[in-house]
Structure 1
Amino acid sequence: MDAVQDQILLELQRIEEDAMHSAANQFALGQQYRAVELLAGIPASVLAAVAGVAALASTTGRVAAGVIALVAAGLGALVTFLGAAERSSRATAAGNEYLAVQKEARRTRLIDAHLLDAASLREQLRELTDRAHAQNLAAQPPNLLARTRGKRSVKRGDRAYAADVSGHDDATNR
């Protein structure tokens, strides 16, 4: 390998690492929105049912039923306003696209780099850079909590493969 190819390999490694962190952040963001949906949506449904029963049970429970119904409506409105289900789905899809970029960068760096000339390898790098950039533009910006949880996930090794941690001897000695 020459100096140019070495620099391309370094850049591929940077893309791979960046995509891994971005995927972790997006998955953490998706989990946050799922939690909001569950933590507000389930009580809203239960409270709406309780309010209905209280309103029908007696005329004296109308005020309590009205308050419960307002709380249920507020929780339901919160879930709707945040678009938690849709945002969770989008964040998960973004995380999956980042994983695809990460895996492609790793394959290019570890396998294709030894089979391609510098110009072809540079083209692969450009395509991956363009994909990563497009995903950065499309993805929701992660909030501080999602970034913290994403960083913790990567640090814990949640994004690591057993083949990378233990080496590849097990796979090659079959």
Structure 2
Amino acid sequence: MIPADIPSELQSIAKEASRIHQSAMESAQGQFEQAKLWRLINLLLGVPAAALAAVAGGTGLAGNTSATPGVLALVAAAFGATLTTVNASRRMTQAQSSASAYLQLQTAARQFLTIDLPNMQRDEAREALQGLTNSRDELNKTADPPGRVAYWLAQRNIKKGGQSYDVDSAENGS
């Protein structure tokens, strides 16, 4: 994604900015996929916990003297305890927040590379690149790494063009 009008003395900076852009794109997509998985886990654990608790309560209030209400309540408690331990809701929110932050970095890197860099002096360009690097490093420190499934889904989405813009296809003659 390096524009053709980058002066030769800025090529190494352009390559590094392109790497940051690609890394941010892959990280954003991985975090979005991880957020979707955490949302699914939250639903898979939370809905049965609530439903089983309601059925156990209704069965118990109906005067059922069998062990059924107690068993249902225990199963509901197990789902609830697992949900609390996994903390899928917080993890989903964290992944979504990280994904958005990586998208901001991706946009900043792309704009630096395609709009600003061709007209910059080397020292000025190096300073701007350092800012992008610092942002990426800070995001990497705070973001939970996505799991294998989220990574696989992210790569698949990117390869299918999930991070492409129509304007980029038009410029490349596609």
The two structures share one fold, judged by TM-score above 0.5: yes
How many residue pairs match? The answer is: 168
For the aligned residue pairs, the C-alpha RMSD in angstroms reads 1.4
* Whole-angstrom distance in 1 between the partners of 2:162 and 2:12: 28
* Whole-angstrom distance in 2 between the partners of 1:166 and 1:3: 26
Gaps of 5+ in 1: 170-174
- Deviation of the 1:168 alpha carbon: 8.6
Aligned counterparts, 1:1-150, within 5 A: 1-61=6-66, 63-150=67-154
State whether residues 56 and 69 of structure 2, in contact with CA within 8 Å, keep that contact through their aligned partners in structure 1: yes
Gaps of 5+ in 2: 1-5
Q: Structure 1 length as normaliser, TM-score?
A: 0.92
- Deviation of the 1:114 alpha carbon: 2.0
State whether residues 7 and 118 of structure 2, in contact with CA within 8 Å, keep that contact through their aligned partners in structure 1: no
- Deviation of the 1:79 alpha carbon: 1.1
- Deviation of the 1:166 alpha carbon: 2.2
- Deviation of the 1:4 alpha carbon: 3.1
- Deviation of the 1:60 alpha carbon: 2.5
- Deviation of the 1:156 alpha carbon: 1.2
* Whole-angstrom distance in 2 between the partners of 1:166 and 1:70: 59
SS at match of 1:166: helix
Q: Deviations over 1:80-109 (max 9, x none)?
A: 111111110000100111111110000000
